[in-house]
C-alpha cells in the first residue's frame, strides 16, 4: 500500500517531530524522501506546489494530493487523520480552544526565542547580546506561565491524556533544552522539565524524540 504522505525536509529537522508522533499514533505511514535543502525546494515543480519554498512540506498520496506547509499545521493534519483524532485535538470546543491556545503560544511566544538561543549556542549566526537578552526574557516570560499551568495540570492544555499541544510544545522545548537552556534554567523550571520528560517517554512514541541529552554548561 502507498504511504499516506511524503514529508519533505532536511535530515534531522526537529520541527517534524510532532508530525511523526501524530502519524505514529494514527498508524499513518509517512515517507521521508531524500531532500537537498536549497536544491529540491527551489525547483520550479516544487515551488508550484509549495510557493513559499519552505520545509517541512507534506504531500499526500492518492488522486487528490494535498500540499501542506507549516510544521504545526502538518502535525494537526496528521493528528486529524486517524483514530487518535479526539485525544489529540480535543473532544469539546473548550478542549480544542485550550489546545489551540497552547499551540499558538508555542509557535508565537516560544519558537522565535528558542531559535535565537539555539542559533547562538550552535554558532549558526554571529552572537548578539541584545538578541540573546531579548530571547531569554521572552522565553522566561512564557515559561513562568507554563510552569504555573503545570503546577495545576498534568498535561499542558488541561486534558486527561496528552494532546497534540503537548507534542508540539514539547518538541519546541526539545530544541531549546538540547542546545540553549542550561542547568540553571532547568533547575528554575522543574515542572516544565518533568512534563517534557514525561512527553518524550510516552511508550507509544518510542524513538520519535531521539536521544535525550540536555545541553551542558
Ligand atoms: N514556521 C515554519 C518555518 C519553516 C521554515 O522557515 N523553514 C526553513 C528551514 S528550517 C526554510 O525552509 N527556509 C527556506 C526559505 O526561507 O527559503 C514551520 O514551522 O514549518
pLDDT band at 69, cuts 50/70/90?
very high
pLDDT at 108 over 90: yes
Whole-Å CA distances, 52 to 23, 107, 111, 205: 24, 18, 19, 31
The whole-angstrom separation of Cα 49 and Cα 40 is 12
Q: Whose CA is nearest to atom 3 of ligand 1?
A: 70
pLDDT band at 211, cuts 50/70/90?
confident
> Tell me, which fold does domain 90-205 have in CATH?
Glutathione S-transferase Yfyf (Class Pi); Chain A, domain 2 (1.20.1050)
CA-based nearest residue to 113, from 180, 13, 186: 180
- Cα-Cα end-to-end distance for the chain: 48
**Is any ligand 1 atom within 6 A of the Cβ of residue 122?**
no
**Is any ligand 1 atom within 6 A of the Cβ of residue 137?**
no
Q: Which residue has the cell 538561543?
A: 117
What does the pLDDT read at residue 217?
60
**Which is the closest atom of ligand 1 to the Cα of 74?**
20
The 10s digit of each residue's pLDDT in 49-63 is 999 999 999 999 999
CA-based nearest residue to 40, from 73, 10, 77, 83: 10
pLDDT at 7 over 80: yes
Alpha-carbon torsion angle 183, 184, 187, 188, nearest 10: -150
151 CA distance to ligand 1 middle (Å): 34
The grid coordinates of residue 62 equal 492518492
Q: Whose CA is nearest to atom 1 of ligand 1?
A: 70
Find the helix or strand (DSSP H, E) in which 31 lies. strand 30-31
**Which percentage of the chain shows pLDDT scores above 70?**
100
Contact in structure between 59 and 49 (CB atoms under 8 Å)? yes
pLDDT band at 1, cuts 50/70/90?
confident
82 CA distance to ligand 1 middle (Å): 27
The whole-angstrom separation of Cα 77 and Cα 88 is 11
Q: Which CATH superfamily is domain 5-86 in?
A: Glutaredoxin (3.40.30.10)
**Is any ligand 1 atom within 6 A of the Cβ of residue 106?**
no
* Domain span(s) for CATH 3.40.30.10 in the chain: 5-86
91: region left, alpha or beta (phi > 0 left; psi from -120 to 50 alpha): alpha
What does the pLDDT read at residue 199?
97
**Which of 55, 57, 72 to mutate to test ligand 1, by most ligand atoms within 8 A of the CB atom?**
55
The whole-angstrom separation of Cα 204 and Cα 206 is 6
What does the pLDDT read at residue 212?
84
Contact in structure between 22 and 88 (CB atoms under 8 Å)? yes
Q: Which residue has the cell 489529540?
A: 88
* Domain span(s) for CATH 1.20.1050.10 in the chain: 90-205
Question: How many residues are there in the chain?
Answer: 217
> What average pLDDT does range 78-101 have in this prediction?
98
The 10s digit of each residue's pLDDT in 144-188 is 999 999 999 999 999 999 999 999 999 999 999 999 999 999 999
**Is any ligand 1 atom within 6 A of the Cβ of residue 18?**
no
Average pLDDT of the chain? Answer: 97
CA-based nearest residue to 85, from 152, 25, 174: 25
Q: Whose CA is nearest to atom 12 of ligand 1?
A: 54
What does the pLDDT read at residue 216?
83
30 CA distance to ligand 1 middle (Å): 20
Amino acid at each position: 500500500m502507498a504511504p499516506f504522505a511524503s514529508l519533505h525536509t532536511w535530515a534531522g529537522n526537529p520541527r517534524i517531530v510532532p508530525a511523526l508522533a501524530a502519524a505514529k499514533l494514527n498508524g499513518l505511514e509517512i515517507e521521508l524522501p531524500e531532500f537537498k535543502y536549497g536544491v529540491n525546494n527551489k525547483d520550479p515543480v516544487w515551488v508550484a506546489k509549495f510557493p513559499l519554498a519552505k520545509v517541512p512540506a507534506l504531500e499526500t498520496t492518492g488522486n487528490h494530493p494535498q500540499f501542506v506547509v507549516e510544521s504545526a499545521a502538518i502535525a494537526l493534519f496528521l493528528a486529524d487523520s486517524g483514530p487518535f483524532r479526539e485525544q489529540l485535538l480535543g473532544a469539546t470546543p473548550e478542549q480544542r480552544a485550550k489546545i489551540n491556545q497552547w499551540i499558538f503560544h508555542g509557535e508565537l511566544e516560544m519558537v522565535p526565542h528558542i531559535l535565537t538561543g539555539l542559533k547562538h549556542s550552535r554558532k549558526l549566526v554571529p552572537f548578539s547580546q541584545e538578541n540573546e537578552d531579548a530571547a531569554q526574557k521572552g522565553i522566561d516570560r512564557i515559561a513562568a506561565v507554563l510552569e504555573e499551568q503545570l503546577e495545576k495540570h498534568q498535561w499542558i492544555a488541561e486534558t486527561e491524556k496528552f494532546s497534540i499541544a503537548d507534542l508540539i510544545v514539547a518538541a519546541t522545548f526539545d530544541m531549546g533544552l538540547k542546545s540553549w537552556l542550561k542547568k540553571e534554567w532547568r533547575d528554575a523550571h522543574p515542572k516544565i522539565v518533568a512534563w517534557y520528560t514525561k512527553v518524550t517517554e510516552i511508550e507509544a512514541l518510542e524513538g520519535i524524540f531521539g536521544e535525550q541529552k540536555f545541553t551542558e554548561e
